[in-house]
Amino acid sequence: MRKIIFISALFLSAAIISCSGDSDSDVSVGYIDPGLGSAKTVNTNKSYNLLGVSESCGPAGNCNAIIYQGTVDNSYVGIAVNDKHDASPDFNLKIYWVDSSIPSSVNIASTGYTIKLIKGSTEYTTTANNLDLTIASQGDGTYLVTFNGTINLGGVSVNSGSTIRAYKYP
């Protein structure tokens, strides 16, 4: 009888130990730590003026415009803008390409970058135009992105002369 109680206690102990394994409840599955370290301050210099798309904002803290450099499978640089500051948001622009750092200029063939523009309920993702940009640090955590060429997206375009002043994230 003692042997059965001992073996049962041993199995119960093993079950308790295996169930209490490394279950870090502070991190949800799929979470990627952005590495901020401290709270970010809203930069009031963010702005965008996208000619052809007829979308603009700022400069103001509520303009949603970021530029980022990070690694997923490769190193990427990206620019994202949306109009969540607007009472009726209906615009979103994302552009990214493989690069190890934020360059001062970009001239990439249409097959070398990804663009996604949502205007209203229509999504545009196809273009034959090069991505031709000048990117200049403004010294305050923002970068001024200037489109040197037009990007036609079949029904809508981001015209040459369009600008985005985007906050560097993170």
pLDDT at 102: 95
Residue 86 belongs to some domain of the structure? yes
Residue 141 belongs to some domain of the structure? yes
Query: Backbone phi, then psi, for 131, in 5-degree steps?
Result: -90, 110
Residue 24 belongs to some domain of the structure? no
Q: Give residue 91's domain range.
A: 45-169
pLDDT at 70: 86
pLDDT in tens, 90-148: 899 999 999 999 999 999 999 999 999 999 889 999 999 999 999 999 999 999 999 99
Contacts of 146 (CB under 8 A, 6+ apart): 133, 134, 135, 136, 161, 162, 163
Residue 3 belongs to some domain of the structure? no
pLDDT at 10: 58
Distance CA 148, CA 162 (A): 8
Number of domains in the chain: 1
Residue 98 belongs to some domain of the structure? yes
pLDDT at 5: 63
Tokens for 80, please give them: 């994202």
pLDDT in tens, 44-93: 999 999 999 999 999 998 899 999 998 777 799 999 999 876 666 689 99
Residue 111 belongs to some domain of the structure? yes
Residue 27 belongs to some domain of the structure? no
Q: How many helices (H) and strands (E) are present in the chain, helices listed first?
A: 1, 13
Residue 18 belongs to some domain of the structure? no
pLDDT in tens, 7-29: 666 555 555 555 544 545 554 55
pLDDT at 166: 96
